[in-house]
Amino acid sequence: MDTKQVIVMRRDLKNTLGQKVKGGKMVAQGSHASLGAVKDMMEVRQGKNCTEYVLKVTPGSVLEDWWEGRFTKIALGCDDLKELLEFQKQAKAAGLPFALITDAGLTEFGGKATITCLSIGPAESKDIDKITGHLKPL
């Protein structure tokens, strides 16, 4: 099985000084997106003294292939928020796991919450490519 996760980042983001957002900030946002989609695939179990998060990996599943494989992630760029939200809509309609990330704005965006990126997958590459296959790497 060919599985992956894509992280779609907005290319139009600027900080409060009107400068391109720092690379480290975008890496952190992409990490939030990747983990966010996987977190949504976990089962939460409330114990007596702790909360457990258990990844629901079933034999032969897409998640097992991705989890036990290379954790393939591809960083792609999109033009703006409108385009990013369209990809979210398509991922949801296709039944693919996704996570849309909103930065709190504490460092780069002058206190304004800002949608920065979207992860799609882990899922079969062919299914993700129907949505993002035309995008260029970041």
CA distance 133 to 3: 14
Among residues 28, 40, 56, 9, the alpha carbon closest in space to that of 121 is found at 40
DSSP reduced 3-state for 2? coil
Q: Does residue 57 carry a pLDDT above 90?
A: no
Whole-number mean pLDDT of the chain? 93
What pLDDT, on the 0 to 100 scale, is given for residue 29? 97
Side-chain half-sphere of 47: how many Cα atoms within 13 Å?
6
What's the predicted TM-score (pTM) here?
Answer: 0.92
Q: Does residue 93 carry a pLDDT above 90?
A: yes
Q: In the numeric block, which tokens belong to residue 92?
A: 């949801």
CA distance 112 to 42: 30
Mean pLDDT check: name the lowest of 61-65, 75-79, 88-92.
Answer: 61-65
Q: Does residue 48 carry a pLDDT above 90?
A: no
Q: Which domains occur in the chain, in start order?
A: 3-132 (3.40.1490.10)
CA distance 108 to 14: 8
CA distance 12 to 79: 6
User: Is 5 in contact with 34 (CB distance < 8 Å)?
Assistant: yes
CA distance 66 to 124: 9
Considering only the C-alpha atoms of the chain, give the largest distance between any 2 of them, rounded to a whole number of Å: 50
CA distance 129 to 122: 12
What pLDDT, on the 0 to 100 scale, is given for residue 58? 86
Q: Does residue 5 carry a pLDDT above 90?
A: yes
